[in-house]
Amino acid sequence: MELSAYISQLLEIEESELMVNMEPAFILSFDKEAQA
């Protein structure tokens, strides 16, 4: 089962709200520097 679906069922929270909260945000990348 997806984590958001499990939590939604367990705690009765809208799954769509959980999915937004769980989406990774603000990510660092060294790829551009490493290729330069």
Partner 1 sequence: MIENKIYFEDIETISRRVRQKKLSPVELTKSLLKRIEQLDPHLNAFIQVMKKDALQQAQILEDEGMAGNWRGLLHGVPIAIKDIFETKGSVTTGGSKLLADWIPSQDATVVHRLKEAGAIIIGKTNLHEFAMGATTENPHYGPTRNPWNLNRIPGGSSGGSAAAVAAGLCYGALGTDTGGSIRLPSAICGIVGLKPTYGRVSRYGCLPLSWSLDHIGPMTRTVKDSAIMLQVLAGADPLDESSSTQPVEPFLDTRLESLKGIRIGICDSYFYDDMDPEMKQIVNHAILELEGLGADIMNVQLEYISEAFTAQRTISMAEGYTFHAAMYAKSPELYGKDLHVRFEKGKSITASEYLHAQQMRKKMIKHVLEQMESCDILVTPTNAIPPFEIGSITAENTVNNIFRLGKTPLGNLLGFPALTVPCGFTDEHLPVGLQLIGKPFAENMLLQVGDLYERSTEWTKAFKRNNILEQCNQKV
Does position 30 bind partner 1 by CB under 8 A? yes
What is the smallest separation between the CB atom of 19 and partner 1, expressed in angstroms?
10
Per-residue mark of binding to partner 1, 2-21 (x: CB under 8 A): xx--xx--xxxx---xx--x
Does position 36 bind partner 1 by CB under 8 A? no
Token digits of residue 36: 């330069």
Is residue 33 within 8 A of residue 14, CB to CB? The reply is: no
Look at residue 3 and give its three-state secondary structure.
Answer: helix
Does position 1 bind partner 1 by CB under 8 A? yes
Matching residue, tokens 């060294």: 30
